[in-house]
Amino acid sequence: MSKLLRKQGGFTLLELLIVIVIIGILAVLIIPNLAAGPQKARDAQRKSDLRNIKTSLEEFYNDSNGYPAATSELGAGANPYMKNVPVDPKGGAAYTYTQAGCAGSPSVCTSYTLDATLENGRDSQINNGTNGYRVTSAN
């Protein structure tokens, strides 16, 4: 009977602690990257949205010799420039569109800025450390 008990081996407390520490270190390294994944995906969507809006704004400018008063005008009319003007993927709010270089009556604007706020503070395309991403007119 004593031979049978001796052959049954188990893990020592030290071996178990080493395995737990290794698992803990791996978790500390992996979990932050997994948590940032959805933020990075939404930021990529924001950047893509702004590029698409910019393309439509430039088409509008070529046809009208000026930029619209609001991005909602891109989806209006018989031949809209966009079917749906994109909004922020997290909150559903419209992106910030600001006209510049406006003159005349009716007002014709020759430049604009289009802004979005990124969630990932370490993004390489952030403007001035404000978590802002900006697209400006080609003019």
Establish if 3 belongs to a structural domain.
no
Q: Which one is predicted more confidently, 80 or 102?
A: 80
Q: Which one is predicted more confidently, 132 or 3?
A: 132
| Residue-range definition of the domain harbouring residue 109 | 40-136
At residue 56, the pLDDT reads 93
Establish if 16 belongs to a structural domain.
no
Establish if 25 belongs to a structural domain.
no
Per-residue burial over 108-130, b if 16 or more Cβ lie within 10 Å, else e, is: ebeebebbbbbbbeeeeebeeee
At residue 28, the pLDDT reads 92
pTM of the entire predicted model: 0.75
Establish if 4 belongs to a structural domain.
no
Neighbouring C-beta atoms of residue 95, cutoff 10 Å: 19
Number of domains comprising the chain: 1
| Structural tokens at position 116 | 């979005």
Establish if 47 belongs to a structural domain.
yes
Tell me: pLDDT of 129 over 80: no
Task: Tell me the mean pLDDT in the region 23-46.
Answer: 90
Establish if 24 belongs to a structural domain.
no
Establish if 118 belongs to a structural domain.
yes
CB 115 within 8 A of CB 96: yes
What is the residue whose two structure tokens read 């009556």? 105
Q: What is the percent of the chain with per-residue pLDDT over 90, rounded to a whole number? A: 42
Task: Tell me the mean pLDDT in the region 18-23.
Answer: 96
Establish if 65 belongs to a structural domain.
yes
